[in-house]
Structure 1
């Protein structure tokens, strides 16, 4: 495989709050959507350096994973069989003493029509982003583990996304990872997620020519990517890692549509 030249959807740093609505906003709302700064980038093939990537340095790592599980249409099997496997995998890779799974999403190419999406079946995200912020990370711990949150938040807390193909080799819409060492705090732009009953927040990224992008072409179901999307430590290790699906110009005609699972976890040390 080889490096690819493609485009990624960054966001404009215009001094205004960026927002994304999951409902129809009032007509007088002045929108400031993400992903409007389309930039040409080179995304490097990471396979030759696969063993060197580190969650605490680059913010991502790719590891071998038993791809034998196939019951992705069976919720009970996912919970009882796959989840324990993922938890043990993350403990082994990170040294965490406790890992909690709190969300999962099956991602594939879907119509732009939002009515075709569900909470657990969504399209690949073609936006440079990181899933949590210094405020929304701890808030999520309190939402998921209210009784234990005060004690858990006194120690190190890290959110890892577990990402893999369901069955086949990823031939289209691969996932790109931005080396966390190549971005600075000022590259992270707060985006408000507007729901009818609440407002969440994540980071989107402004463009920088310093960003270094990596991907793993033709990932099989026997590999898993771990992405760090929040780390409570502020000692210089990676805290947030930008990532995005992208249109790969080398995708062959008739390629197998991408089907992947993303499992979000919080780890405690």
Structure 2
């Protein structure tokens, strides 16, 4: 198994969440002396190749699965900076992929509200999407994008237009206020879809590693607050545990898509449903 370094959070001595201020703050607010609090350290991690596991992965049990046979409606290699093409043609396709993956769980609807194009070379050249968003780099810290509170906030924000904190990439509200409240009060989840967009070669560096949910528990994470000028978000930073099992898929191709769970309130509602991945 390959060994890599993944940065993990260190426990906060006072038990309080760490705080980071967004780069849009040119000056820190009065009384704030550090842009980022909290400590972290790199940890040597053995990665298991998801292609060679004895037991197939499922979204419910492990929080991750690999979908094959994906034929992208947008060639992100040539059209990857065309935000309109991504939203109009690629978003519906990704929503369909997630619906198929969650069909055994009785999914009602899937709403795509954001995306990031990641490319080290494009980022170094300072390239931007047509909507002005920067091309992203690669995250090397072990984290989860949402806490229980921020997941519900994210759903409610989708009833607002982009200018008021709604979808990052679509100007109009994606949900009515009534729908957002109904979803936040019921069973819902947030999932990410990650894929390689080049057809001329597979992923050879910076593959995405995902923590097997079956090897982790809620106590293995601590809340980190991210402060924007108009709101405060929350993510969950992972603490290192020897029993954690990290998974990646070797040499992912452009016709494959990694689906992984960010948040699911099924446990909070006392629900359970078997979910596999689409063929």
TM-score calculated relative to the size of structure 1:
0.79
* Conserved 8 A contact 1:43-1:215: yes
String of CA shifts for 1:134-188, please: whole Å, max 9, x gaps: 1011111111033411222333101010110111411111100111111121111
Which structure: greater strand fraction?
A: 1
Which of 100, 104, 108 is the matching residue for 2:115? 104
- Aligned-pair distance for 1:25? 2.8
* Structure 2 residue 201 is matched with structure 1 residue 158: no
* Cα distance per residue 1:14-48 (max 9 Å; x no partner): 22321222134357535654562211110111112
219-228 or 194-203: bigger deviation? 194-203
More helix by share: 2
In structure 2, relative to structure 1, the CA distance for the partners of 1:35 and 1:216 (3 Å cut) is: farther
Query: Structure 2-normalised TM-score?
Result: 0.76
Query: Does the 8 Å contact 1:50/1:62 carry over to 2?
Result: no
Matches within 5 A, 1:4-19: 4-14=2-12, 15-19=15-19
Please tell me whether residue 49 in structure 1 is matched to residue 53 in structure 2: yes
Summarize deviations over 1:93-123 as a string: whole Å, max 9, x none: 102221111111111226999x888645211
Match of 2:102 among 80, 94, 106: 94
| Structure 1 residue 75 corresponds to structure 2 residue 94 | no
Moved more, 197-206 or 227-236: 227-236
Structure 1: runs of 5+ lacking an equivalent: 239-269
Kindly indicate whether the alpha-carbon contact (under 8 Å) linking 2:73 and 2:93 is maintained by their aligned counterparts in 1. no
Give the total of aligned pairs. 235
| Aligned 8 A contact 1:107 1:124 in 2 | yes
2:28 to 25, 30, 37: 25
Structure 1 moving runs of 4+ over 6 Å: 110-113, 115-118
RMSD of equivalent CA atoms:
2.6
Is 1:205 matched up with 2:238?
Answer: yes
